[in-house]
A and B are shown apart, each in its own frame.
Chain A
Amino acid sequence: MPLDTVGSVEAGLDALDTPVVEAKVSLPRRIVGRVLPPIVAIALFVVVWQILWAAAFWPEFKLPAPVDVGAQIWELVTTGEILSLFWVSVHRAVIGFAISLLIAVPLGLAIANITVVRRGIGPLVSGLQSLPSVAWVPAAILWFGLNDRAIYWVVLLGAVPSIANGLVSGLDQVPPILPRVGKALGAGRWGGIRYILLPAALPGFLGGLKQGWAFSWRSLMAAELIATSPDLGEGLGQYLHNGMSLSDISMVFAGIMLIFAVGVGIELLVFRPLENTVLRARGLTRAS
């Protein structure tokens, strides 16, 4: 084949072989398709609850009316108390999560890259992940007293192992060809980590972050529930604890729902979009 016709054949091949991009569904349709199913599910849940309550299977102090729980939450909203509850808990969780990140990333890097470290403390870190971090509450209270440091300690022990493990598994799943290519392109040790390994491990790492957030939120609520003191300020855990002390089941239900809402909300508002962006950029789209 003469060289000058190569260009046009090549252009034709490029046009034919390029993967076809799926047509995008219109925005209103996507919103309806995504938002409607969970709303219907929640509505169904409330209806079943209402029916069970109306049938009076259980006494009122065990199963409150949906309306009462709604009123309880509404009162928190109108008095503005909900903001301080959210603030106390969420800022603790975010700070705890941030500190966990600072500890877990170097730890994960060390475990993934240094054989001795992996053999030595790798299993320990995996094991810590399955130890409920609530188990640390008594020790934390004895060590630090009833204060924020005790709570952060518990949150750290919940979040650090899962973030570190996420990073390790992300790094382990990097196709071996990529670091080789990096080396051939002139990457040194640090260049290889910074420009090849870390970005390549990002999807797995994000999974670890998501789980780390869930663990830190969970541990925080456990810590707040157990370690209650006027000095600590009132977070969602304390609110729930107060509901129990007052034998107010509608307050307890409201507390559970608020805790749930924060956990799910942060996942939906922060981690889901982050993960989707990363996966889509790499052509790893998934049905969601």
Chain B
Amino acid sequence: MTATIEARQAVTAATQPVRFHQVGKAFGQGRRAVVALDQVDLEVAVGEFVCLVGASGCGKTTLLNLVAGLDQPTAGGIEINSSRPAVVFQEAALMPWLTAAGNIELPLRMAGVPKSVRRTKAAELLELVRLGGLGDKRPHELSGGMRQRVALARALASTTDHTGSGAGKPSLLLMDEPFSALDAITRDVLQGELLRIWQATGTAILFVTHDVREAVRLGQRVVLLSSRPGRVVRQWDVNGLTGPAEIAAVDEVNAALRQVISSHAA
């Protein structure tokens, strides 16, 4: 599959896809300003899977929006050394007027990729998310889990375009609580799928969630953010943990998260 090969080649240009330097973000001005992020230092290595956890209001989504370029930081700087970061939102947010394949082709179309190339690419990505042959379905004909997989394939299509300025740079996938609106069993299956796709494509992933268990299961590294303002509190290396060690790690992160939350009780 060419998607795999291209991504692997990108990995050889060993620069960190994203680096935060003392990033701050405030909404509003003056005394009524709400500080969402404060002095955040964070970096994601090539091909690394990083999970961000934190209670609501910790600026997880803000942080992701900054990386995605949907918002600008008010302090510090973000260094991005990847092709355009791909984003998967909590909702699949597929374009209802396009088929599944049409949705995946959309970023390529906007980048001016010729039709035949788009077709092939969309078919490949559909296979990757195990939706081969369903490219002609409309979003309303798909289940929630299938829609989210199409959204993932679409996001990958937006990042694996190596014709533009991002050519040869490592790719980066941003995910904002992508599975939290799904039922438990679908979520479980999709977590497995995401790991498989991560291994297949070698992309770096910055994954936001409020579910500690999910973070420990998926991530190599878990980063805990405090709330209002969001700061990096602690990080855990959870790479390859299984069984009792995984459970212990979940308990530890959970305890730290609770501590952060109870510090807000006044």
- Residues 69-102 of B at the A interface (beta carbon under 8 Å): 69-70, 84-87, 89, 91, 93, 95-98
Instruction: Find out whether the CB atom of B196 lies under 8 angstroms from the CB atom of A6.
Output: yes
- Check A13 against B186 for contact (C-beta < 8 Å): yes
Near A by CB (< 8 A), chain B positions 175-202 give 185-186, 188-189, 192-193, 195-196
Whether B266 sits at the interface, judged by CB under 8 Å, is no
Answer yes or no: A1 CB below 8 A from chain B CBs. Answer: yes
Instruction: Tell which of A21, A180, A196 touches B95, judged by Cβ atoms closer than 8 Å.
Output: A196
Contact indicator per residue, chain B 112-143, by CB within 8 Å of chain A (1) or not (0): 00000000000000000010000000111111
Contact yes or no, B192 A14, CB < 8 A: no
**Is the CB of A142 closer than 8 A to any CB of chain B?**
no
Chain B contacts for A186, CB-based, 8 A: 84, 107, 110-111, 158, 161
- Is there a chain B Cβ closer than 8 Å to A286's Cβ? no
Q: A7-B130, A195-B110 are in contact. Are A17 and B146 (CB under 8 A)?
A: yes
Known: A1-B192, A13-B186. A18 touches B91 (CB 8 A): no
Are A184 and B70 in contact, with the CB atoms below 8 A?
yes
Q: Answer whether residue B169 sits at the interface, using C-beta atoms and an 8 A cutoff.
A: no
Complex alpha-carbon distance, A200 and B96, angstroms: 8
Asked if A11 is at the interface (CB within 8 A of a chain B CB), the reply is yes
B142 — nearest CB in chain A belongs to which residue?
Answer: A18
What residues of B have a CB within 8 angstroms of the CB of A278 in the complex?
A: 97
Partner of B141, one of A11, A196, A283: A283
Are A13 and B189 touching (Cβ within 8 A)?
yes
Q: Whose C-beta in chain B lies nearest to the C-beta of A285? A: B140
- Pick the contact of B139 from A191, A195, A283 — CB < 8 Å? A283
Query: A19: CB under 8 A from chain B?
Result: yes
B189 and chain A: residue at smallest CB distance: A10
A199 at interface (Cβ–Cβ under 8 A)?
yes
Q: Is the CB of B97 within 8 A of A17?
A: no
Interface residue? B221 (CB, 8 A): no
Q: Nearest CB to that of B154 among chain A residues?
A: A185
Using known A-B contacts A177-B91, A195-B109, determine if residue A21 contacts B141 with beta carbons closer than 8 Å. Answer: yes
Taking A1-B192, A191-B110, A282-B96 as contacts, is the C-beta distance between A19 and B140 under 8 angstroms?
yes
B144 within 8 A of A: yes
Interface size for chain A: under 10, 10 to 19, 20 to 34, or 35 or more residues? 35 or more
| CB contact list, A148-182 vs B, under 8 A | 175, 177-178, 180-182
Contact B89 A14 (CB under 8 A): no
Give the docked Cα–Cα distance between A183 and B97 (Å): 18
Q: How far is the CA of A7 from the CA of B192 in the complex (A)?
A: 9
CB distance from B33 to the nearest CB of A (A): 23
Instruction: Determine the distance from Cα of A175 to Cα of B96 in the docked complex, in whole angstroms.
Output: 11
B147-185 contact mask (Cβ, 8 Å, vs A): 1 or 0? 000000011001001000000000000000000000001
Q: Which A11-67 residues sit within 8 Å CB-CB of chain B?
A: 11, 13-14, 17-19, 21
Interface pair A200/B186, CB less than 8 Å apart: no
Q: A102: CB under 8 A from chain B?
A: no
Q: Given A6, A184, A185, A284, which contacts B192 in the complex, CB threshold below 8 Å?
A: A6
- Cβ A184 vs Cβ B144 within 8 A: no
Q: Across the interface, which residues of A come within 8 angstroms of B110, CB to CB? A: 182, 185-188, 191, 195
Interface contact A181-B109, CB-CB below 8 Å: no
Residues from chain B with a CB closer than 8 A to the CB of A185 are 87, 106-107, 110, 154-155, 158
* Given A7-B130, A13-B145, A184-B68: A199 touches B95 (CB 8 Å cut-off): yes
Min CB–CB distance B8 → chain A (angstroms): 19
Cβ contacts under 8 Å, B193 to chain A: 6, 10
A287 within 8 A of B: no
Q: A177: which of B93, B140, B161 is its contact (CB, 8 Å)? A: B93
Residue A114 interfacial (CB < 8 Å): no
Measured in the bound complex, the distance between the Cα atoms of B91 and A196 in whole Å is 17
**Smallest Cβ-Cβ distance to A185: which chain B residue:** B107
Residues of B within 8 A of A10 (CB): 130, 145, 189, 193
Give CA–CA (A278, B196) in the complex, Å: 37
Considering only CB atoms, which chain B residue lies closest to A7 in the complex?
Answer: B130
Residue of A nearest to B109 (CB): A195
When the two chains form their complex, are residues B196 and A3 in contact, meaning their CB atoms are under 8 A apart? yes
A281 to B138 alpha-carbon distance, docked (Å) = 7
Given A181-B89, A183-B70, A184-B87, 17 more contacts at CB 8 Å? A7-B130, A14-B143, A17-B146, A177-B89, A181-B93, A184-B86, A185-B110, A186-B111, A186-B158, A188-B110, A191-B110, A195-B110, A199-B97, A200-B97, A278-B97, A282-B140, A283-B139
- 10 example contacts (A-B, Cβ-Cβ < 8 A) are as follows A1-B192, A3-B195, A7-B130, A11-B130, A180-B70, A182-B110, A185-B110, A185-B158, A195-B106, A195-B110
In order of increasing CB-CB distance, the 5 nearest A-B pairs are A283-B140, A17-B143, A184-B87, A185-B107, A6-B192
